[in-house]
Structure 1
Amino acid sequence: MKRTGKILLAVAAALLILIGSIAIGSVNLTPGQVVAILIAKLSGEPGTIDPNLSSIVWGMRFPRAVLAFLTGATLSASGTVMQSILKNPLASSYTLGVSSGASLCAALVMVTGFTIPLLGLFTLPAAGFIGGLATVFLALAFASRLDGKMENQTVILVGMVFSLFVNAILTLLTALSREHLQQMVFWQMGGFSGRDWSHVAVMFPILVISMLVLQRFTPEMDIMSFGEEQAMSIGVDLKRVKLILIGVAALLTGTAVSLVGVIGFVDLIAPHMVRRIFGSAHRLVLPLSALFGGAFLMLAELVSRTVLAPTIIPVGAVTALVGAPFFALVFFRGRKLK
């Protein structure tokens, strides 16, 4: 199948998953009903649409599905960047401690109730961005002291150590904040319950702006994949490019973690699958990883609330059940190739 056909197939699959995630629930709807309700709402002409069904679709399921897609796209774009920078298919924002730092700062905002007046709803993602960025740059600074050449293995190892340390602080904070214990534990497992259009309104502009910035640097990411020495010989300002890319990746992961909690492995699975199917050119890998990641997380969200209904499984648990074996497969296959 040609590349265009594969892309159209991927888009069609994502749309089908979107419709399915809206249609399936405690009250099952047909795809036709879902489409009719969405058209009626978007056109502003309710017609003969049942207001109760319209409320279920537009007020609950549609924003939840859209947020799941945006979160998956956000995490996958961030993972694509990290894998490109570190030239490692197992690298991700979680590897460098971005997720842990974002989690800690977001938890502090939850516990203290701190709000920045000018930011309002953006206080939580701003805290996540600051925490994630601070953690990753501390890890990079420490790695540079240990290894002047900043070898990728050193960076990953230091990032994992920082991640474990920050997670320990987060666990301590969770244990001490008994009044917020249930909220924080469920949040650390990731989920979309109680999320609405306000969360979509926060994540959507951040994702769009970040993707535009990252798309601008896809040629540099392609060059860096051949090695840093070759990139420098061509004239790529590696330090500047890395700082920008890591900063954007931290913003993406920090926003996702702050709004929906910790959801792992999406940023590992989607970029790897896209590279296997469509090649390694980042002008395609970046947007298609976002598409694949968004579709995958919508499907995971659907599974989380239907497989043991009415009990809702944390979405992070669903992605981990798929992602952990996938991680092992990629790791051991890489060792065999060596």
Structure 2
Amino acid sequence: MKTMKTKIKIFISILSSIIVLVLGVAIGSVYVEPLKILTIIFGKILSQPISADLNENLISIIWDIRLPRVLAAFLVGGALAASGTVMQSILKNPLASSYTLGVSSGASVGVGLVLITGFSIPVLGNFTLPLIGLLSGLITVYLVITITAQIDRNMGNTTIILFGMNFSLFINAVTTLIMALSRETLPRLIYWQMGSFALKSWLDVKILAVIFVGCYLILIRYTNELDIMTFGEEQALAIGVEAKKVKWILLILSAALTGSAVAFTGVIGFIDLIAPHVVRKIFGSSHKLVVPISILFGGTFMVACDLVARILVSNSELPVGAVTALIGAPFFAYVYFKNRKVR
């Protein structure tokens, strides 16, 4: 009975995700019927002639503009959700996420420097940004966890969150200073810092997909370890899990997911905090379900937020980071004060 209920929940989640993705492609300055969208997509994928009723401008809007944007939003939302799921589990902290620990801000400093200097690694080309984002995010999470452990060996909720947010403010100040000293690239940096999926291309989607799939294939192999580490490192060691090694592998994966997301879209917060909480509430604590469903929920939620950002104000587009923050900030407060109340 329980298995059937879970299957129904999974089916509803997948169906809801498909509906939101289709709406994300369909709705815009020009509404396009879902049937026409499917015709264009299948025609392009199968290299078949597309119906003469669909003009070239409409095909270009769907295939070259809206579809890459929606897929990029889904991949970024899924990457952030997976990162948040991992961090909350291995740190045994319901408020831990790349955003609250300052990882997103750390990644943004590295990416900001690349944008200003025009630095590029010849062999990597377009992979330079996600690589720098990954390394910057990894350095940040290492500093936050290491220093917090020195302050509070138990790494309690209050200590790790306060230090992470304090560190994030410091890094944001560094980013602001960098922006102030680079007036030529200031408009581009400000636009990027606010978070946006505008002008995303198929190349961006392909690079994001390669990083995302690679990290996911490694991450999914550690779902059992994640279940065990939720109860603490001592219990994990007693069962035979190399807790420290697994912990750092998972932190590296989280930094890779967050860094690549920040590199392409700017700082978008709270997805990595919201998605794991909602999924655990509905599906329980088993990471074999929590990880993939969190990715599905995070990606769908990001597409929905981007859709709101596009249509809420006519003839204008809001930063998607502002939309997620409007939802995420009250959610953060709810989780924090709920946990204090339980104590």
Q: What's the TM-score bracket when you normalise by the shorter of the two chains?
A: over 0.9
The normalised TM-score by structure 1 is 0.96
CA contact (8 A) 1:77 1:289 kept: yes
Counterpart mapping for 1:1-338 below 5 A? 2-48=5-51, 49-148=54-153, 150=155, 153-338=158-343
- For 1:182 and 1:302, the matched residues in 2 are separated by 23
Query: CA-to-partner distance for each residue in 1:94-119, whole Å, 9 max, x for gaps?
Result: 22221111000000000000000000
Query: CA-to-partner distance for each residue in 1:65-98, whole Å, 9 max, x for gaps?
Result: 0000000000000000010011122110122221
Shift of 1:227: 2.1
RMSD over equivalenced CA pairs, Å = 1.4
CA contact (8 A) 1:129 1:254 kept: yes
Identity of aligned residues (%): 53
Letter in 2 for 1:79: G
CA contact (8 A) 2:39 2:50 kept: no
Q: Which ranges in structure 1 are unaligned for 5 or more consecutive residues?
A: none
Letter in 2 for 1:119: L
- For 2:154 and 2:32, the matched residues in 1 are separated by 57
Shift of 1:335: 2.4
- Mark the CA change 1:75 to 1:28 in structure 2 (over 3 Å): closer, same or farther: same
Query: CA-to-partner distance for each residue in 1:114-161, whole Å, 9 max, x for gaps?
Result: 000000000000110111111111223323433455556544443333
- For 2:326 and 2:190, the matched residues in 1 are separated by 18
Shift of 1:46: 2.4
Q: Which ranges in structure 2 are unaligned for 5 or more consecutive residues?
A: none
The normalised TM-score by structure 2 is 0.95
Letter in 2 for 1:227: G
Secondary structure at 2:214 match in 1: helix
CA contact (8 A) 1:86 1:152 kept: no
CA contact (8 A) 1:100 1:163 kept: yes
Query: CA-to-partner distance for each residue in 1:150-203, whole Å, 9 max, x for gaps?
Result: 556544443333222211111111111111112111211100111111111111
- For 2:82 and 2:313, the matched residues in 1 are separated by 30
- For 2:199 and 2:248, the matched residues in 1 are separated by 35
Shift of 1:274: 0.3
**Aligned structure 1 segments of 4 or more residues deviating by more than 6 angstroms:** none
Shift of 1:332: 2.2
Count of residue correspondences: 338
